[in-house]
Amino acid sequence: MTGAIADPSGPTVESTEVADLTPERLRDAYRWMVLSRTVDERCLSLQRQGRIGFYAPLAGQEAAQVGTALALKPEDWIFPAYREVAVALVRGTPLGRVFDQMIGNAFDTSKGRQMPNHFAWRDQHYVSASSPIGTQITQAVGAAMAAQRRRDGIVTVTFFGDGATSSNDFHAGLNLAGVFQTPTVFVCQNNQWAISLPREQQTRSATLAEKGSAYGIPGVVVDGNNLRAVYTAVSEARRRAVSGGGPTLIEALVYRFGPHSTSDDPRRYRTDQQVAAAKERDPIALLRAELIESGDWDAARDAQLLERLRAEVATAFEASEAAPPVDPASLFDDVFLTPTPRLEEERREFAEREPMGGPRP
């Protein structure tokens, strides 16, 4: 499978065969993609049942996320938007930790202080998502500048959607990255919709990638449904960045199969026919077809994989759901490195209060 990577400033080039994308790695990539879709379907269902409060689906964007994550090194830092569950999983985040955060239970490393789906895991170098559009872009550039000064030899990678290219932080971030030639890879997952606003009403630019040229940053447009093409583009961008070549803006062309979030009804602004047409290039189906054609996969193994992953997801969520809630007293943790006398006084007063519903057990 080759995928076109279009350079807005030049001719279209074809994705090359990357030597380290062995059949085994492609099977691993396929497993990550199927796992991400399985988690996605499960979370949508759980939110509708009232068992989690909110979710931002990623279906249709698996190749863009898994392909990017596999092209990075563990020491690189991720600055996500809010639907990069696949990236977190590839980086090594256990399923249970994902669901702990979704629920906000006692094992949630954010201690229930973030919205569901706004993950943060320091050991995976995965920075907290935030709801304001585009703020992660300038954060990624700032972190890259720090890494540059420390000569850390890493890159920072930030994800955002097509709508974020109209945000202040997009332009400020790219300008700063261009001026200082920071080791940053900007990954725009152009899923064609900024909630209900279609791509064609977002900008007059022929591509989103060409916006980088205003800041001296090369841009490429990649078929985001093609894992090989994404992996190739990100690998090259990372190589350039760590060798001092500066940042790259990658526009991955994908399509959001589901709603923008569980608070959205996409039937109000797009047709079932549009979605059906996009699903003809489902990234999971494309990679599955390649693996089967090459003899590295078959229908029986595919069915077994799906059954196993569904069981793993169900087991992980049940364990997270059975966990105790966050201790309300954790409200006073992490406020100051050294708690102030006033904070300690408030903690004591809180401990003496009776919770709503009666005395503490």
Structure token digits, residue 291:
């693996």
Residue 55 pLDDT > 80: yes
Over residues 261-303, the pLDDT tens digits come to: 999 999 999 999 999 999 999 999 999 999 999 999 999 999 9
Q: What HEC string does 117-164 produce? A: CCCCEHHHCECCCCCCCCHHHHHHHHHHHHHHHHCCCCCEEEEEEHHH
Q: What share of the chain is helix, strand, coil (3-state, %, to 5)?
A: 50, 10, 40
pLDDT at res. 357: 47
- What dotted CATH number matches 4-326? 3.40.50.970
**Residue 30 annotated among the catalytic residues of the structure:** no
CA distances from 10 to 85, 205, 220, 247 (A): 33, 16, 10, 18
Write down the pLDDT at residue 131: 86
Given this model, what pLDDT does residue 18 score? 67
Which helix (H) or strand (E) segment holds residue 79: the answer is: strand 77-79
pLDDT at 4 over 80: no
Catalytic residue chosen out of the listed positions 269, 281, 310, 347: 269
> What is the structure's pLDDT at 14?
45
Give the model confidence (pLDDT) of 182-214 as tens digits: 999 999 999 999 999 999 999 999 999 999 999
In the chain, domain spans: 4-326, 327-361
10: confidence class by pLDDT, cuts 50, 70, 90: very low
Which tens digit of pLDDT belongs to each residue from 124-153? 999 999 889 999 999 999 999 999 999 999
Give yes or no: 82 in active site: no
Cα 209 from Cα 217, distance rounded (Å)? 9
Alpha-carbon distance 126 to 120, whole Å?
Answer: 6
Tell me the two tokens of residue 349: 């007063």
Catalytic residue among 42, 83, 97, 260: 260
Q: Shortest CA distance to 249 belongs to which of 177, 149, 153, 323? A: 177
Q: What is the pLDDT of residue 9?
A: 41
Question: Would you give the DSSP letter of residue 327?
Answer: P
Q: Residue 48's Cα: distance from chain center in Å?
A: 22
The structure's pTM equals: 0.92
Number of continuous H segments (helices) and E segments (strands) in the chain: 11, 9
User: What's the rounded Cα separation, in Å, for the pair 101 and 117?
Assistant: 7
Active-site annotation holder among 118, 228, 238, 256: 256
Is pLDDT at 360 greater than 60 in this prediction?
no
Quick one: DSSP state of residue 357?
A: T
Give catalytic status of residue 171 as yes or no. no
